[in-house]
Amino acid sequence: MTRRRIAAANWKMNTTPGEGAALATQLAEATFDSEMIVAVPATHLDRIGQVFKNQQNIKLAAQNVWYEPKGAYTGEISTAMLLDCGVSYVLVGHSERRQIFGEDSDLLVKKMNAAFEAGLDVIYCCGEPLDARDANQQQYYVNGQLTRELATLPFEYLDRLIIAYEPIWAIGTGRTASPEQAQEMHASIRLFLETTFGAVTAQKTPILYGGSVKPANAKMIFAQADVDGGLVGGASLQSDSFVEIANSFSS
């Protein structure tokens, strides 16, 4: 079974709306041989949604969502707001949301279910911190996240799920998991999917690598059997480098 090849960008809290629109326009004019998903700050969504409106291979993603449809939730953003801006995907479970903002498994499950119910697809992030990696407990740690946060998802949502494995110790540190380390964890995640949801779901679910992906290492990482692309941070802030990453898949 041939799985989707995906280059996903996470701009985090970078660029102004004007800078983001210029970068999005450059991406819309580029040539690449994979799917591209771009997660931008909330202030940019409506403007960049217009840039990507007629693009077939570029989709817009939000970096956050709240699980209630409306109400007194100052600073939050609802699924209806995202859909009105042309959003197709939402990130859930990113390590920065977990660590800095204290988002726990119960909240992440609510967010995912709300997104799926509204018609949004989800890029679900998981990954281990340095102490778990150093203790050789990375598979145990990530399997715990998957068990708490994915195992109860309704089966009908699984076709709209993308998983991003992000080794926390390799985000923004300049350290990168070796291709072999990435493959080992991706294979472990795929085994969890097979055990929990069956072989068909396991084989068709895209799993992205999200730890300091750059043009220099993307081709080696994407060549691994269970790596279906990347969730790219800093290197996605320059169109040339991100397009090069998006063209790093083996033929």
Catalytic residue numbers, as ranges:
94, 166
CB-based burial label for 215 (10 Å; 0-12, 13-18, 19+): middle
Amino acid 75 reads: G
As beta bridge partners, residue 59 has 37
Nearest to 123 by CA among 215, 20, 230: 230
Alpha-carbon gap, residue 195 to 193, rounded angstroms: 6
Q: Cα-flanking dihedrals φ and ψ of residue 165, to 5°?
A: -85, 120
R_g (Cα) of the chain, nearest Å: 17
- Total number of residues shown for the chain: 251
Residue 9 neighbours by CB distance under 10 Å: 26
Environment class of residue 139 by beta-carbon count within 10 Å: exposed (0-12), middle (13-18) or buried (19+)?
Answer: middle
Strand segments (E) across the chain:
6-10, 35-40, 58-62, 89-92, 121-126, 161-165, 207-209, 229-232
Q: Distances from the Cα of 37 to the Cαs of 122, 123, 208, in angstroms?
A: 11, 10, 12
